Amino acid sequence: MIARSATVQHIPDWQQQLKQAISDIEELLDLLGLDRCLLPAAELAARKFPLRVPHSFVARMKKGDADDPLLRQVLPLGIETEQTPGYTLDPVGDLNAMPQPGLLHKYQGRILLLTTGACAIHCRYCFRRHFPYAEANPLRNDWSQALDYIASDPSIHEIILSGGDPLVLSDRRLAQLGAALENIAHVRCIRIHTRLPIVLPDRIGKSLLGWLNDLRLHKVIVIHSNHANELDDSVARALSKLASTGAMLLNQTVLLRGINDNAKTLSNLSNALFEIGVLPYYLHLLDRVQGSAHFDVNAKRACALVETLNDSLPGYLVPRLVREQSGALGKSPVN
């Protein structure tokens, strides 16, 4: 037998998977049996925003298909390096809405905390692809400033953990934050915006579930899925465990040209979400962030798509079409 030192720390399996996420474009193309002619342009685009995708997400992609809807969300393309007028570095005005670094207070009653800059996956359309995470990350070492702000404003009832992806944080950090929030009398609800149950379902393990179970706050978990192909059995299992903690499960989707911009794909997604206990919440128009113009679906087409959904789905399976507007109070519905 091999003697094990008592000081060796156990690294949870999900953290190992996170470390092993693919960042090498050639490796991704080879795994999927794709032509390397895509490589030079992809490498250029990846210099601005690197490739990052966990193996478990790649396993749900179709081999040999460069247009696979999951692959298209993560594969850097040369077209991203083109400058498009009207596409900026901070399209939602995050940097202006911060009373403190990393804390967004745009909407009444709710506050959004950028808990970490890290994500398990890099979505090419991400509006935070140019975001100065390092400067906007108050909680890395010290929660106290953000907690003081929340404690001093009794109108704040709901705390939204966002990022990056808050579930990239260790269970220990999450438990610390949860305990501190429970100590503020006017905080009643914790909402977690996360893509991890989709892209790294093994994240939903015993200790995270134990923490959620014990939390005395109302819990809302908003996942982020754009296509029914993302929802395999491992995701279904992770979500049913989350639901068993009493958390309400909602989904947000980004409308993406060439990935989910047709009524059939969107209604398949709504139905697949329903099957695993999740209701559609938001359908976001793309944020006009530099490098993402090729994903844009215009508002008129988006409205037509949602109207088709209204005809074919029960109302509770039709997401609300919204656009994030710089400086506006609340997401604006698109009609």
Ligand X SMILES: *Cc1c(COP(=O)(O)O)cnc(C)c1O
Q: Which residues of 47-80 are buried (b: 16+ CB within 10 A; e: fewer)?
A: eebebbbbebbbebbeeeeeebbbbbbbbbbeeb
Is 121 a residue that touches ligand SF4 (CB under 6 A)?
Answer: yes
Using a 10 angstrom Cβ sphere, with 0-12 exposed, 13-18 middle and 19 or more buried, the burial of residue 8 is exposed
Cα(199)–Cα(323) distance, integer angstroms: 24
Is 165 a residue that touches ligand SF4 (CB under 6 A)?
Answer: yes
For residue 160, the partner it binds in ligand SF4, ligand X, none, with Cβ less than 5 to 8 A by kind, is ligand X
**Which of residues 74 and 159 has its CB atom nearest to ligand SF4 in the complex?**
74
Is 218 a residue that touches ligand X (CB under 6 A)?
Answer: no
Span from 15-23, 117-125, 147-155, 284-292 in contact with ligand SF4 (CB under 6 A):
117-125
Is 259 a residue that touches ligand SF4 (CB under 6 A)?
Answer: no
Interaction with ligand X in 95-124: which residues (CB under 6 A)?
Answer: 104, 106-107, 110, 112
- Contact predicate 67/257, CB 8 Å: no
**Which of residues 165 and 171 has its CB atom nearest to ligand SF4 in the complex?**
165
- Contact predicate 171/208, CB 8 Å: yes
Is 160 a residue that touches ligand X (CB under 6 A)?
Answer: yes
Q: CA torsion sign, 8 to 138 to 74 to 278? A: positive
**Which of residues 126 and 255 has its CB atom nearest to ligand SF4 in the complex?**
126
Q: Count the site residues for ligand X by CB under 6 A.
A: 7
Preceding omega of 33 cis (within 30 degrees of 0): no
Is 123 a residue that touches ligand SF4 (CB under 6 A)?
Answer: yes
C-alpha R_g of the chain: 20
Comparing C-alpha atoms, which of 38, 125, 35 is closest to residue 78?
A: 38
Phi/psi of residue 321, nearest 5 degrees: -80, 120
In the numeric block, the tokens 């006017």 are attached to: 186
For residue 195, the partner it binds in ligand X, ligand SF4, none, with Cβ less than 5 to 8 A by kind, is ligand SF4
For residue 107, the partner it binds in ligand SF4, ligand X, none, with Cβ less than 5 to 8 A by kind, is ligand X
Crossing angle of the two packed helices 206-214 and 171-182, in degrees rounded to 10: 0
> Shortest distance, CB of residue 52 to ligand SF4, whole angstroms?
8
Span from 4-12, 77-85, 123-131, 169-177 in contact with ligand SF4 (CB under 6 A):
123-131
**Which of residues 58 and 187 has its CB atom nearest to ligand SF4 in the complex?**
58
Helix ranges restricted to H, the chain: 13-19, 25-31, 39-48, 55-58, 71-74, 144-151, 171-182, 196-199, 206-214, 233-243, 263-275, 299-312
Cα(271)–Cα(273) distance, integer angstroms: 5
Residues sharing a CB contact under 8 Å with residue 314, sequence separation 6 or more, in sequence order: none
Interaction with ligand SF4 in 178-197: which residues (CB under 6 A)?
Answer: 195
Structure tokens at 42: 């992809």
> Shortest distance, CB of residue 131 to ligand SF4, whole angstroms?
9
Cα(288)–Cα(100) distance, integer angstroms: 24
Contact with ligand SF4 (CB under 6 A) among 60, 72, 106, 122: 122
Site map 63..102 versus ligand SF4, x via CB under 6 A: ----------------------------------------
Span from 35-43, 96-104, 118-126, 281-289 in contact with ligand SF4 (CB under 6 A):
118-126
**Which of residues 122 and 241 has its CB atom nearest to ligand SF4 in the complex?**
122
For residue 331, the partner it binds in ligand X, ligand SF4, none, with Cβ less than 5 to 8 A by kind, is ligand X
Is 126 a residue that touches ligand SF4 (CB under 6 A)?
Answer: yes
Residues that bind ligand SF4 (CB under 6 A): 119, 121-123, 126, 128, 164-165, 195, 224
Residues that bind ligand X (CB under 6 A): 104, 106-107, 110, 112, 160, 331
